[in-house]
Amino acid sequence: MKRTKKQLIVGLATAVALTALPAGAWADTVARADQPIPLITEENQPVAPPGSGGEEAPSDVAVSRDKAVELARKLLQIPTEYTLQSASYNTDRLAGGTRSAWNLDFVKKVNNKQLGSIQARIHATSGELLGYGSYINDPNYKPAYPPKVDREQSMKIAEDFIAKVGAKYAGKLRYNADYGVQFRPPLNGEVRYPLRYNRVVDDIAFMDNYIDVEVDGEGHVMGYQVTWDDTISFEQGKPSITMEQAEAKIRALAEPQLAYVVPYDAKAPIKPYLSYEMAPLMIDALSGDRYQPFASTVKPNRTEPVAPSALGAKPAANKKLTGEQAVKIVEGAFKLPEGSELTDSSYHEYSDEQNGRTSAQWQLSWSIKDKDDKDNGSVWASVDSRTGEIRSYSQYSYAEVKGGDQVKIITYEQAKAKALETIKKQLPGYAHELYLQESEQDQQLDRAVIPGDIRDYTFRFQRLIHGANAVYEGASVTVNAITGEVRNYNADLGNFTYPAQKPQTISNEQAIDAFMKYYNLELTYVQTYAMQGEPIPLEKYNLMVAAGEIVPGSGDSGKAKLVYRLVQRPLDGDVFLDAESGQWRDRQTGDPASLVKETATDIAGHWAERELSMMVAYKALDLEDGKVRPQAVVTRGEMIKMLVLAMNSGNRPSLAFANSESASFRDVGASSDYFIYVENALQANLIDRGDGSFDPAGEVDREEMAELIVRALGYNTLAKYEQLFNVPFSDVGSIENKGQAAIVAGLKIMNPDEKGQFNPDRLVTRAESATAFFRFLQAKAELQEAPLRN
């Protein structure tokens, strides 16, 4: 690089052709559908060993293992060099019965090295293909970039595949346009298009039954999964209300709640944002009433704090406790078990990059001795050295009292009083902000089971600030049911600074308006299980069966109910609603976000439209009033951001230490939009520290961009040997780094002009930089075997 410049180194198709595994990518491992492979019978192949998760198949099973293997080979056209490695037989529970299937695993090995595997799941009664997955481990396999197949083309491939292996589903499926939608174009050839086709019942999509197909960028079907239950019965009848009426009901029922959100990867110093949250709702489509089959037994307590006002001031962080003082604080707060002896006292400091604070704590431990001086348990505690607050306390005794109906215990209410007393004593400054969260099950615990079987009562307190849930802060107290003493205590408070007064927020109506754009309203069926007349989720039902709590088939699966429900619309990342501004923000960074894909309004028909659109999609280039300004000169900051995103598959990098003290350049601090990218580029050796100045707003010329790309390819050292390269430029004498220029030209990443000149000093536009990085990705894919920086 020129030393005189700033340092930038910086209905389904009925076709029967099976396109699952074209020969183009699998070479000789898998054949196309139009090149059928003779059936190979399996003899003396292993069955899954005992304990491998399978079960013994009945002797009269309709589809034997050998028949299942034959069917799998025929349906998937598995090549002969793939041998059966294992087979297992399993039974799944359905709403009104069971379904058994064979799980088959085929592998290809060369010189004892596994180069590929194919898994198939065959219905043990009908012989239907229920599932398929494939994996290839070929070091010579290089997917093309850009991908040969886009999402729309992959749909045709998926539908042809379903028509071949799942013809019975013809006319019963509907493509789910929201599932697996990708907002950003791929940055490499390793692309997977997840496609879903939902079951249709009475012209209504049942979202819990579907067929998933995964197609890669080469056009191969890499996965297939049938999630379908023919034993489900569906509620009969037509909706009594329209979609518009359902929306009106939801708006009337909606209750947005305030909560503080802390973006976990925001620019330092990180601050909490006051946000609105609104849970999705369901409306019974036949009755028009609200439908709450899985309502929680925990009724959020937002009205009754531990105390109506603070019982004291929050402690100032101005102390420097000794170990002895920390021990006395713990002994004064909790009754340590008899025979407790202090065994360890250690001091720890920790700098939290999220909130910019340094914490200091004493970690204390005691051993509990019995009358014979034998170990009988332990006690642990941590004390904040600067505030004197006990952060945690826990004690455990090996001599537990055995359960039974003769053991006397304290009541739930007595334990609750103890927990409230503990919070008031230990956290007086937070008593008005801590709210006990109880469930009906908690309150009835001492009456619902054998008393002696209750060991502890646990109470959880959530911190609310001016009525807003401080999601990451709260406390908990565990009271021993037999001794009545506190066994565990934890307080996670004061991590961030919150406003002294409640901020002005948008109205509930405005919040609901925003969330109705965040959600889509759909008419579908939902399925629940019921035990003793109470609906429970299918997942909980299966868990209860697995735990032996209920017998398989017990309970009532009920009918799949017709409902209107809110579901999150496809989004490019997680977002939250800023309650103060009404702006959607990125949950990761706190930056402004949009619910719809941003597109540039000034590049239609531009020669670099595709490349610029890609950079806008990844937010590598920012829009101003909807314009990307393709002819504007690209800046150093933008250039580095584009390259780092390209090298990280479009993912925003993270740094372990992201504060101003760790900034490597004096003009790119932690508050800069480019900080995370510049630091990542420095760590990856793409740029040098130089004189400590980066100049993120500086303009970039062609020679600087060439060097940056060559470094990213991993060829910068090689480029120094200029005699190895043909430098075919008519202005070669004006090029300082001839090796870098020759490499980018040879790889067709950067081309000379019509006069054959490289023009090293010419400034690079946004359109030119976007095009260069697109070509960089192409070259990177082609040179996959070369020593690239991946």
CA geometry: angle 766, 769, 770, nearest 5 deg: 85
The yes-or-no verdict on residue 131 having pLDDT over 90 is yes
Residue 530's SS3 state is strand
Q: How confident is the model at residue 30 (pLDDT cuts 50, 70, 90)?
A: very low
Lowest mean pLDDT among 127-141, 274-288, 411-425, 762-776: 127-141
According to the model, what pLDDT value does residue 277 have?
A: 97
The yes-or-no verdict on residue 643 having pLDDT over 80 is yes
The yes-or-no verdict on residue 720 having pLDDT over 50 is yes
Peptide bond into 269 cis (omega under 30): yes
Residue 549: exposed, middle, or buried by beta-carbon count in 10 A (0-12, 13-18, 19+)? exposed
Lowest mean pLDDT among 296-305, 594-603, 682-691, 773-782: 296-305
Tell me the HSE value of 374 on the side-chain side, using a 13 A CA sphere: 3
How far, in Å, are 584, 640, 748, 776, 777 from residue 621 at the CA level?
20, 11, 23, 17, 17
Q: How confident is the model at residue 498 (pLDDT cuts 50, 70, 90)?
A: very high
According to the model, what pLDDT value does residue 206 have?
A: 97
Instruction: Parse the chain into domains and list their residue ranges.
Output: 23-231, 316-388, 609-782
According to the model, what pLDDT value does residue 59 have?
A: 78
Cα–Cα nearest to 630, from 615, 646, 604, 612:
612
According to the model, what pLDDT value does residue 464 have?
A: 98
Maximum Cα–Cα distance across the chain: 99
What is the mean pLDDT of the segment spanning 323-343? Answer: 95
Lowest mean pLDDT among 171-175, 522-526, 647-651: 647-651
- For the stretch 47-67, what's the b/e string if a residue is b when 16 or more beta carbons lie within 10 angstroms of its beta carbon? bbeeeeebeebeeeeebebee
Digit-coded pLDDT (tens) for 269-326? 788 999 999 999 999 999 999 998 866 666 789 999 999 999 999 999 899 999 999 9
Place of tokens 């059966």: 84
Q: Which amino acid is at 208?
A: D
Digit-coded pLDDT (tens) for 76-101? 999 999 999 999 999 998 888 899 99
Digit-coded pLDDT (tens) for 157-167? 999 999 999 99
According to the model, what pLDDT value does residue 718 have?
A: 94
Helices (H) and strands (E) in the chain, counts: 17, 26
According to the model, what pLDDT value does residue 785 have?
A: 56
Taking the C-alpha atoms of residue 474 and residue 492, their distance in angstroms, rounded to an integer, is 5
The yes-or-no verdict on residue 145 having pLDDT over 60 is yes
Cα–Cα nearest to 685, from 7, 6, 4:
7
Q: How confident is the model at residue 547 (pLDDT cuts 50, 70, 90)?
A: low
Q: Which two tokens stand for residue 270?
A: 């990180």
Contact 330, 383 (CB under 8 A): yes
Cα–Cα nearest to 768, from 617, 607, 636:
607
The yes-or-no verdict on residue 510 having pLDDT over 70 is yes
Q: What number of residues does the chain have?
A: 790
Tell me the HSE value of 237 on the side-chain side, using a 13 A CA sphere: 15
Lowest mean pLDDT among 192-201, 394-403, 646-655: 394-403
Digit-coded pLDDT (tens) for 728-762? 899 999 999 999 999 999 999 999 999 999 999 99
Q: How confident is the model at residue 552 (pLDDT cuts 50, 70, 90)?
A: low
What is the percentage of the chain residues whose pLDDT exceeds 90? 64
According to the model, what pLDDT value does residue 449 have?
A: 55
Q: How confident is the model at residue 2 (pLDDT cuts 50, 70, 90)?
A: very low
> Do the strands 468-480 and 257-261 form a parallel or antiparallel pair, or are they unpaired?
parallel
How far, in Å, are 59, 66, 72, 417 from residue 41 at the CA level?
20, 8, 11, 72
The yes-or-no verdict on residue 154 having pLDDT over 80 is yes
Mean pLDDT taken over the chain: 85
Taking the C-alpha atoms of residue 95 and residue 528, their distance in angstroms, rounded to an integer, is 9
Lowest mean pLDDT among 368-382, 385-399, 538-552: 538-552
Contact 284, 610 (CB under 8 A): no
Q: How confident is the model at residue 37 (pLDDT cuts 50, 70, 90)?
A: very low
Three-state secondary structure readout of 102-136: EEEEEEEEECCEEEEEEEEEEECCCCCEEEEEEEE
CA geometry: angle 47, 211, 242, nearest 5 deg: 150
According to the model, what pLDDT value does residue 17 have?
A: 32
Q: How confident is the model at residue 652 (pLDDT cuts 50, 70, 90)?
A: confident
Q: How confident is the model at residue 674 (pLDDT cuts 50, 70, 90)?
A: very high
- For the stretch 635-662, what's the b/e string if a residue is b when 16 or more beta carbons lie within 10 angstroms of its beta carbon? bbbbbbbbbbbbbbebebbeeeebbeee
Place of tokens 């306390």: 393
Place of tokens 């406790």: 321
The yes-or-no verdict on residue 639 having pLDDT over 70 is yes
The yes-or-no verdict on residue 458 having pLDDT over 60 is yes
According to the model, what pLDDT value does residue 472 have?
A: 86
The yes-or-no verdict on residue 783 having pLDDT over 70 is yes
C-beta atoms surrounding 299 within 10 Å: 11
Taking phi over 0 as left and psi of -120 to 50 as alpha, with beta for the rest, 132 belongs to beta
Taking phi over 0 as left and psi of -120 to 50 as alpha, with beta for the rest, 619 belongs to left
Digit-coded pLDDT (tens) for 587-638? 988 999 999 888 899 999 999 999 999 999 888 899 999 999 999 999 999 9
According to the model, what pLDDT value does residue 455 have?
A: 80
Q: Which two tokens stand for residue 541?
A: 């039902």
Residues with Cβ within 8 Å of residue 303, at least 6 apart in sequence: none
Cα–Cα nearest to 563, from 243, 341, 197, 125:
243
C-beta atoms surrounding 502 within 10 Å: 13
The yes-or-no verdict on residue 567 having pLDDT over 90 is yes
Contact 477, 489 (CB under 8 A): yes
What are the backbone dihedrals phi and psi of residue 642, each rounded to the nearest 5 degrees, phi first?
Answer: -60, -45
Q: How confident is the model at residue 551 (pLDDT cuts 50, 70, 90)?
A: low
DSSP state of 250: H
Residues with Cβ within 8 Å of residue 483, at least 6 apart in sequence: none
Taking the C-alpha atoms of residue 310 and residue 428, their distance in angstroms, rounded to an integer, is 6
Residues with Cβ within 8 Å of residue 276, at least 6 apart in sequence: 256, 257, 258, 259, 505, 506, 511, 514, 515, 577, 579
What are the backbone dihedrals phi and psi of residue 517, each rounded to the nearest 5 degrees, phi first?
Answer: -90, -25
What is the mean pLDDT of the segment spanning 710-736? Answer: 92
Taking the C-alpha atoms of residue 559 and residue 2, their distance in angstroms, rounded to an integer, is 74
Contact 767, 630 (CB under 8 A): yes
Q: How confident is the model at residue 265 (pLDDT cuts 50, 70, 90)?
A: confident
Digit-coded pLDDT (tens) for 432-451? 999 999 987 777 776 655 55
Digit-coded pLDDT (tens) for 404-424? 555 678 899 999 999 999 999
